Amino acid sequence: MTSSGPIVEVAVFCPNLEPLDYLWPADSRFRQPPEVGIRVRVPLGPRTVAGIVVGRKHASPLPVRKLRAIREVLDPQPLLTETLCAFVLWASRYYRYPAGLAFQGILPPALKQERSRKRPVRIFWVPPETGAVEPTGRLGAASRALLAEVARNPEGLEDRALDPAGRKRARTLARRGFLLRRERPVEPGIPTAPEGRERCTIPLNAEQLAAVRAILKTTADFRCTLLDGVTGSGKTEVYLAVARAILDAGRSTLLLLPEIALTPQLTSRIEEAFGSRVLIYHSERSPEERQAVWDAVREEGGHCVIGTRSALFLPFARLGLIVVDEEHDSSFKQQDGFRYSARDLAVYRARQLCIPVVLGSATPSLESLANTQAGRYQHVHLTRRAGLGQTPHWSLVDIRGQKLTGGFSDPTLKIMETHLASDGQILVYLNRRGFARSLLCPDCGWIATCTPCESPLTVHQREHRLLCHRCGLRRTMPETCPHCGAELRPRGSGTERLEATLAERFPGVGLARLDRDAITRRHQLDSVLEGFRSGVTRVLVGTQMLAKGHDFHGVTLVIVIDADQGLYSADFRAAEHMGQQLVQVAGRAGRGLKAGAVVLQTRHPENPLLHDLFDGSYASFAERLLEERREAGWPPYAKLALLVAESTDSEAAWTALKTIHRELGPTLDPRLETYGPAPALHPKQAGRWRFHLLLKAASRHLLQLGCTQILERHKPRSKKVRLILDVDPYSLD
């Protein structure tokens, strides 16, 4: 027998994949079953857990006696809009992540717990006579006194004005319908830009205007636009113009950035334009601030929210536009837990809400380019720099057989000298921090190694330590070889060594470094960026932090120390990623009055991919890669899911995947290809082994069927092995 009656679907905060059915007891103190988006507390096994109501229905496939009743309702009003609930549910299914954990993950900190929400100030007031709420039951003397007190305050009474017993009583009265309550965020209020006059925008050029028109052609329907604009083409101004139209219509705009802290200039440009309408949302904001943004966007439209990927899950009341800036950036894909791609979900969310979405980049991902070619996305180009700058000139320095001084070839140093002599500023890019890649004994061949990762330790000279960049292990630097006592030699360069080399070579020239070692605090970032902007710093050495959208006007030269990183990697996305990094960092040159040059040090001067970039065209580079992927049948022309087995016991992890593969293999659709099991590219990390089984299919549908089969039939057999399913994996590392 199936059950019927008011049944509530709850995504409980635990690792169940799907929401569970609960009963709404007939004798409930609350008259209506809770609405979608409200937190409730429910029994689960011997415990009670919190969860979010995601649906209400009249029948359950389970018999009544199996269904348990909801224990408590935790919120007076829904925390999430219905569309947001549907969105999270869809995303959790797509990425095969437990629905309840997905919901728990998107809530601001104060709401993640089972507790009723405490942070905002509650205001109680007596409903008007004609109010829709009808009180039930009789009242004691204390409650009547409290009602009278609330009634004396026309604005309502804040819960802070009551003692704990009074607050409890007021809550009960509100639940029973005698009082109404609303909430007001506590100080410090909504984190916005300092109040100021909104400034006029720069007049747009013809290409920018055309882009704005193309994007706004439909504002009341879904349309995805790839804004493919070379570095410095003024994409920000396009975002601003489009956002302004949306805000003026009383709707909100969401601008997703890969990282907010790294590009304070972009944020302040938007704050300049929209003043107090700008709200900032990312994980480094305090819980109170995040809560305030959450409440503000739920209340009304007209906000411009700048956020990192989690901002996609804010409960917007009136969202009118989503912009994903630097859409190619890998940090949009969450690499653990709920492994979603914020870029891909942004497109889905826009489709769900029937609103436009813009993906912007100077180096679009191959996925987005393929989507434009297939006619799914509108492709809009900005082909010229908007401001003063011109496209920089690229050249290669062949370093085969050359003696390098701390990573630099002689021709490179000469070019730097020329630029310094003519008052230029220089960026030196190497995506490896630390002093040296490894520490080696020239006599016996010993290499300092991180045992839990089985990979070389990086030398950090200033700290006088060896560091593992995979697991964070730290060791003091040995004075001599622990085996033979010979003097040890650092091998390969990192940014710290580049900086030291330059300090020696160009004494007195302002020098700074931008990487995670040099920048551990916000104020350090500000001062390094400010130093470079003001011109006090002439040479800035750094990792990919340099490649992030900075708009410095004095840069005349960008040096890429190792253009070959990524050229011959086993990861199928490595070349794409390398090209994007190079074009982005090169794009920092020549943004002012002076022309810019880019110098790539390489051992593969003949490589056709480098030549595509060299000729200044990311488009032809991307076209070549797309062709390769099409021929090999890799994304974007195929869909992938990666099953990862992780364990301290390599044998157990391997066997787990082997078993799944053997048992599942014959039942899978033959059009679904499997690769593996095989060790991950870096099979050992922090003492844990990782093995991969890769699923590949021409269609999304086939792939999802395969995922379902894996999840339905294969629970981990051994506690030692953790199985993770990564849908649309970014990296096979």
Footprint on this chain of Zn ion (rule: CB under 5 A): 441, 443-444, 446, 450, 453, 468, 470-471, 473, 481, 483-484, 486
Instruction: Look at residue 370 and give the partner it binds from ligand ADP, Zn ion, none, a contact being a CB closer than 5 to 8 Å depending on partner kind.
Output: none
Q: How big is the site for ligand ADP, counted in residues (CB under 6 A)? A: 16
Instruction: Look at residue 471 and give the partner it binds from ligand ADP, Zn ion, none, a contact being a CB closer than 5 to 8 Å depending on partner kind.
Output: Zn ion
Identity of the residue, 169 or 432, whose beta carbon is nearer to Zn ion in the bound complex: 432
Name residues whose C-beta falls within 8 Å of residue 338's C-beta, 6 or more positions apart in sequence: 91, 92, 95, 97, 101, 102, 105
Name residues whose C-beta falls within 8 Å of residue 449's C-beta, 6 or more positions apart in sequence: 455, 456, 457
**What is the smallest separation between the CB atom of 581 and ligand ADP, expressed in angstroms?**
15
Give the separation between CA 449 and CA 457, rounded to whole angstroms: 5
Instruction: Look at residue 235 and give the partner it binds from Zn ion, ligand ADP, none, a contact being a CB closer than 5 to 8 Å depending on partner kind.
Output: ligand ADP
**What is the smallest separation between the CB atom of 517 and Zn ion, expressed in angstroms?**
17
The number of helix segments (H) and strand segments (E) in the chain equals 19, 32
Cβ count near 142 (within 10 Å): 11
At 16, the amino acid letter reads N
Using rule CB under 6 A, residue 391 touches ligand ADP: no
Give the separation between CA 522 and CA 285, rounded to whole angstroms: 13
* Closest C-alpha to 704, from 201, 189, 712, 252: 712
Give residue 61's Cα distance to chain centre.
Answer: 38
The 8 Å CB, 24+ separation contacts for 151-158 are 151/126, 153/125, 155/123, 155/125, 156/123, 156/124, 156/125, 156/182, 157/123, 157/124, 157/125, 158/121, 158/122, 158/123
**What is the smallest separation between the CB atom of 691 and Zn ion, expressed in angstroms?**
18
Eight-state DSSP code of residue 447? B
Using rule CB under 6 A, residue 329 touches ligand ADP: no
The structure tokens 């970014």 sit at 730
Give the separation between CA 432 and CA 207, rounded to whole angstroms: 37
Residue from 232, 542, 554, 729 in contact with ligand ADP (CB under 6 A): 232
Using rule CB under 6 A, residue 229 touches ligand ADP: yes
Using rule CB under 6 A, residue 231 touches ligand ADP: yes
Q: Are strands 157-158 and 252-256 parallel, antiparallel or unpaired?
A: unpaired
Interface stretch with ligand ADP, choices 188-196, 227-235, 397-405, 423-431 (CB under 6 A):
227-235
Instruction: Look at residue 473 and give the partner it binds from ligand ADP, Zn ion, none, a contact being a CB closer than 5 to 8 Å depending on partner kind.
Output: Zn ion
Residue from 236, 310, 607, 685 in contact with ligand ADP (CB under 6 A): 236
Instruction: Look at residue 387 and give the partner it binds from Zn ion, ligand ADP, none, a contact being a CB closer than 5 to 8 Å depending on partner kind.
Output: ligand ADP
**What is the smallest separation between the CB atom of 240 and ligand ADP, expressed in angstroms?**
9
Interface stretch with ligand ADP, choices 147-155, 232-240, 558-566, 604-612 (CB under 6 A):
232-240
Identity of the residue, 8 or 382, whose beta carbon is nearer to ligand ADP in the bound complex: 382
Interface stretch with ligand ADP, choices 196-204, 246-254, 561-569, 678-686 (CB under 6 A):
196-204
How many Cα atoms sit within 13 Å of 72 on the Cβ side? 10
Residue from 257, 278, 306, 386 in contact with ligand ADP (CB under 6 A): 386
Within 391-521, residue ranges assigned H as helices are: 410-421, 495-505
Cβ count near 163 (within 10 Å): 8
Give the separation between CA 387 and CA 235, rounded to whole angstroms: 11
At 326, the amino acid letter reads E
The two three-digit tokens of residue 506, written as one number: 């160009």
Give the separation between CA 393 and CA 376, rounded to whole angstroms: 34
Identity of the residue, 170 or 481, whose beta carbon is nearer to Zn ion in the bound complex: 481
Identity of the residue, 207 or 728, whose beta carbon is nearer to ligand ADP in the bound complex: 207
**What is the smallest separation between the CB atom of 272 and ligand ADP, expressed in angstroms?**
11
Residue from 60, 192, 208, 412 in contact with ligand ADP (CB under 6 A): 208
* Closest C-alpha to 660, from 711, 702, 699: 711
**What is the smallest separation between the CB atom of 507 and ligand ADP, expressed in angstroms?**
33
Using rule CB under 6 A, residue 387 touches ligand ADP: yes
CA angle 430, 434, 439 (to 5 degrees): 115
User: Exposed, middle or buried, 529 (CB in 10 Å: 0-12/13-18/19+)?
Assistant: buried
Torsion sign, CA atoms 367, 370, 376, 377: positive
Instruction: Look at residue 441 and give the partner it binds from Zn ion, ligand ADP, none, a contact being a CB closer than 5 to 8 Å depending on partner kind.
Output: Zn ion
Using rule CB under 6 A, residue 228 touches ligand ADP: no
Instruction: Look at residue 444 and give the partner it binds from ligand ADP, Zn ion, none, a contact being a CB closer than 5 to 8 Å depending on partner kind.
Output: Zn ion
**What is the smallest separation between the CB atom of 473 and Zn ion, expressed in angstroms?**
5
Identity of the residue, 50 or 243, whose beta carbon is nearer to ligand ADP in the bound complex: 243
Instruction: Look at residue 69 and give the partner it binds from Zn ion, ligand ADP, none, a contact being a CB closer than 5 to 8 Å depending on partner kind.
Output: none
Identity of the residue, 210 or 471, whose beta carbon is nearer to Zn ion in the bound complex: 471
392 near 426, Cβ under 8 Å? no
* 498-557 residues near ligand ADP, rule: CB under 6 A: 551
Determine phi and psi for 680, rounding to 5 degrees: -60, 165
Contact mark string toward ligand ADP, 338..377, x via CB under 6 A: ----------------------------------------
Identity of the residue, 201 or 219, whose beta carbon is nearer to ligand ADP in the bound complex: 201
Using rule CB under 6 A, residue 257 touches ligand ADP: no
Identity of the residue, 481 or 703, whose beta carbon is nearer to Zn ion in the bound complex: 481
Interface stretch with ligand ADP, choices 48-56, 199-207, 628-636, 713-721 (CB under 6 A):
199-207
Query: Cα–Cα distances in Å, from 358 out to 325, 411, 583?
Result: 8, 42, 21
**What is the smallest separation between the CB atom of 243 and ligand ADP, expressed in angstroms?**
13
Eight-state DSSP code of residue 334? -
Instruction: Look at residue 233 and give the partner it binds from Zn ion, ligand ADP, none, a contact being a CB closer than 5 to 8 Å depending on partner kind.
Output: ligand ADP
Query: Cα–Cα distances in Å, from 363 out to 284, 437, 490, 574, 670?
Result: 28, 29, 35, 14, 36
Interface stretch with ligand ADP, choices 231-239, 413-421, 532-540, 685-693 (CB under 6 A):
231-239
Instruction: Look at residue 593 and give the partner it binds from Zn ion, ligand ADP, none, a contact being a CB closer than 5 to 8 Å depending on partner kind.
Output: none
Residue from 62, 121, 204, 698 in contact with ligand ADP (CB under 6 A): 204
**What is the smallest separation between the CB atom of 75 and ligand ADP, expressed in angstroms?**
41
Identity of the residue, 40 or 586, whose beta carbon is nearer to ligand ADP in the bound complex: 586
The structure tokens 């009249």 sit at 58
75 near 117, Cβ under 8 Å? yes
Q: Which residues bind ligand ADP (CB under 6 A)?
A: 202-205, 208, 229, 231-237, 386-387, 551
